Amino acid sequence: MMSGIPEPEADAQAHSARLRQLIQEQIIAAGGAIPFWKFMELALYAPGLGYYSAGAHKFGPGGDFITAPELSPLFSATVTDALAPVLKQLGIDAVFFELGGGSGAFAHACLEALRDLDALPARYAILEPSADLRTRQRARLEAALDADLFARVEWLDGPIQDGWMGVVFANEVIDALPASRFVIRQGQVLEEGVALDGEGRFVRSEQPADAMLAAEVRRIEGQLDAPFADGYRSEVLVQLPYWVQAVVGGLQRGALLFIDYGHPRSEYYLPERDDGTLRAYRQHRMTADVFAWPGLQDITASVDFTALAEAGVGAGFEFAGYCTQASFLLGNGLAQRLAPAEAGAANDAARHALRQQVKRLTLPSEMGERFQCLGFQRGVEFEPAFALGDLSHRL
């Protein structure tokens, strides 16, 4: 049980028990253990049961975490200000492609901002694997947007494969990709797995890493100041280069923008971070127990932004910039967005709330430095969006 967090309601516990049984069956069928990435994939995405596949409320004050678009429409409008020049460079046939639409809050604010900027794309496409979230997004956007804006929105089952032009935007998506876990034992790379103890509870296991995982760990190790110490444990997204290539599909011209929490490689794999970055969230509280209540808690690992930069360049894109969320928002007009919002606020309490939102988005102790932004371009100019506080030298 997570300290200070009430146990789930009986129906939620029953839901979790069904997913737990599914994972147990997979472990048994695999001969006694599955790789950690497989456990994470099932816990988050098992059809109808996984955390992101089922119907539990996840976003906002009543959920398990608050993302920046739910926190403030000023975030979405400022990100839109950064991407609108790219859409204007591409013309009226451009597509705005959002990965993981969350509650629909970003799409709502983004489309209204693009209309005001005279930069509306021909299509606003959302790739959302959760049928439940698709339903919620559709209901929100249909109720909030005028008919012309809503007519531009579509939900896709996969990346856009045919040749297209536009932008790809992903906020807090990569941290939820199933990560491989590794541990160093007597100089060898082992893969962390998930097995069952005598009472059917999930426990860590270790087995020799396959050639791809071992090679990636050794490649990373070679870029650090010292080899990994014995017992060092962390994560790596071996599939990240293939994932980036897949999600951009047939993008011929345009820009990619990723916003997430994480570190450049030299900080991600610090000697003192010897158990990695893996954690879980439920009811706005963090726990290291990623095995508790499968299906009812988010499981996440921080992003290695050096790996993301490598993946984007490897997919044929030009690196555009890397900076903290605070620098990105302030450099792309957050203060200018705040001023009219305050002027139009109903009262002092509403103005205070807006200022508090900006503080949470930009203060180092809040989201300002913990979240970072990384961009790529192909046939467009996206570098100006990273003019303030560029940190590419840290990659």
Domain assignment present for 77: yes
Is the predicted pLDDT of residue 369 greater than 70, yes or no? yes
Q: Which of 129-143, 161-175, 253-267, 380-394 has the lowest mean pLDDT?
A: 129-143
Domain assignment present for 36: no
Domain assignment present for 5: no
* pTM, two decimal places: 0.95
CB distance 395 to 280 below 8 Å: no
Domain assignment present for 19: no
Is the predicted pLDDT of residue 59 greater than 50, yes or no? no
Which CATH number covers residue 328?
Answer: 3.40.50.12710
DSSP characters over 236-283: E-TTHHHHHHHHHTTEEEEEEEEEEEEE-HHHHT-TT-TB-S-EEEET
Confidence grade of residue 61 (pLDDT, cut at 50, 70, 90): very low
Domain assignment present for 358: yes
CB distance 202 to 16 below 8 Å: no
- Domain that includes residue 384, residue range: 68-150+169-175+251-264+320-394
pLDDT at 286: 85
- Average the pLDDT over 120-136 and give the result: 92
Domain assignment present for 155: no
Count of domains in the chain? 1
Domain assignment present for 387: yes
Domain assignment present for 330: yes
Which residue has 């955390």 as its token pair?
51
Phi, psi of 110 (to 5 degrees): -65, -45
The CA distance from 135 to 245, in Å, is 28
pLDDT tens-place string over residues 182-199: 999 999 999 999 999 999
Contacts of 155 (CB under 8 A, 6+ apart): 125, 126, 127, 128, 134, 137, 138
